[in-house]
A = this chain, B = another copy of it.
Amino acid sequence: MEESAHRRGDKKVVAVVGGGLVGALNACFFAKRGFEVEVFETREDIRKAKVVKGRSINLALSHRGRQALKHVGMEDKIVSKGIPMNARMIHSLSGKQSPIPYGKKGQYILSVDRANLNKELLTEAETYPNTTLNFDHKLQDWRAETGLMTFARPDGSKTQTQADLIVGCDGAFSAVRKQFLRRSRFNYSQTYIPHGYMELTMPPRNGEFAMKPNYLHIWPRNTFMMIALPNLDKTFTCTLFMPFEEFEKITTGDEVIEFFQKYFPDAIPLIGAAALRRDYFRLPAQAMVSVKCSPYHIGDKCVLMGDAAHAVVPFYGQGMNAGFEDCIVFDEIMNQFNEDFSVVLPEYSRVRVPDDHAIADLAMYNYVEMRAHVNSKWFIFRKHVDNLLHLLMPKTIIPLYTMVTFTRTRYHVAVERWHWQDKVSFFLLLFNFPL
């Protein structure tokens, strides 16, 4: 075992556990403040890896995420490699496509490539001379009293390092969080939804996107649904969401085609029947979990951020955005309390827990809405009414989706306001407010 010193010189050491999206971004935030930053990542360096395993291929970047990237000077670079999506594009069973805008004209979310974003963030973190990236370091254990961490290396050896602050950004199955679970009065829940997801690729058609690119395509089918996001290489990544039992019922290529024929007939020629028959069986459907916990800190030594603190189901497109916003919120509290961890950490838990719980609940709510209600005339009517009311009274009525996606309104405030607005707009409708 080797041991590295903490507080190198007069700089405090911040260990960021996890070199995924939130970990890499957070490293930049802490490096910018002048801390000695050490990032520890279980996997090898994805920039050198041949096959990158893991989570979904593309993500929807919106305002909160962009603000965080802006803070470390990365917004333009990332946005330039994203594809704007101005509206949902609803595919009916008959193949009819109807757009529902996300917000006002000019408001859009961005389809970004997860792997590329992660690589760019790691490279950016490395530009800070006070940051070191340590790959192939799997956290085995850590002590809340001392900040001492033990990592396992691929050769079976162990390394120990001590830090003044441990920032757990190691995802939904966080190793850092395990220590929290052993302590009294830590509230925790993990909820798996009955649906799994499967990704399928829709190739380009004659060198162009096979469908209109500037949309998030949705095939809502009540108990299940498919969505598609555009990629820079002119493919779409289609994600099929369906209860695990339904996935398991389909066991042959013929059954795949039969299933798509019944529910997504317009997608068959676009994905290709042969590819469908093959790719459906490439990987089993993946599980989705919603994790909530509180508090996010232990003493003045450790704090959880990103999915480690609040994994959400993907139906509001806010998982990464919420994780990125964590970095800003923490940074704001660091300013407020002069980087005094003993005050900053409890304050961060106090401020951030209700917002993360709110977005977790909203994502769960949208899990039903996206596949079941998006279809209904009432939903479409309400979306139009909300957008119209927003146009007429831009400061009074702000659609929930707008608050969540295009502002930094605290998530829990957005939810409270939504409930209030819902009542108000009901009355406006009732009394025939001039629409």
Residues of A within 8 A of B (CB): 181, 184-192, 287
Contact = CB atoms under 8 A, between A and B. Distances in A.
A188 B189 contact: yes
Contacts of A184: 192, 287
A187 B188 contact: no
A191 B192 CA distance: 17
Chain A: interface secondary structure?
strand
Contacts of A187: 190-192
Given A181-B181, A188-B188, 4 more contacts: A184-B287, A186-B190, A186-B192, A189-B191
A246 to B, nearest CB: 15
A129 to B, nearest CB: 39
Ranked nearest first, the 5 interchain pairs of A and B with the lowest CB-CB distance are: A189-B189, A185-B192, A184-B287, A187-B191, A188-B190
A179 to B, nearest CB: 13
A191 B187 CA distance: 5
A185 B287 CA distance: 7
A185 B186 CA distance: 21
Nearest to A290: B187
8 contacts: A181-B181, A186-B190, A186-B192, A187-B190, A188-B188, A188-B189, A189-B190, A189-B191
Nearest to A192: B185
A189 B187 CA distance: 8
Contacts of A185: 192, 287
A292 to B, nearest CB: 8
Contacts of A181: 181, 190
A184 B188 CA distance: 16
A242 to B, nearest CB: 15
Contacts of A186: 190, 192
A198 to B, nearest CB: 15
A219 to B, nearest CB: 25
Nearest to A178: B181
A257 to B, nearest CB: 28
A189 B191 CA distance: 8
A186 to B, nearest CB: 7
A186 B191 CA distance: 7
A397 B192 CA distance: 37
A140 to B, nearest CB: 15
A392 B189 CA distance: 44
Nearest to A190: B188
A185 B190 CA distance: 9
A30 to B, nearest CB: 30
A104 to B, nearest CB: 39
A181 B180 CA distance: 14
A311 to B, nearest CB: 13
A350 to B, nearest CB: 14
A181 to B, nearest CB: 8
A114 B186 CA distance: 27
A187 B181 CA distance: 15
A192 B188 CA distance: 9
Contacts of A189: 188-191
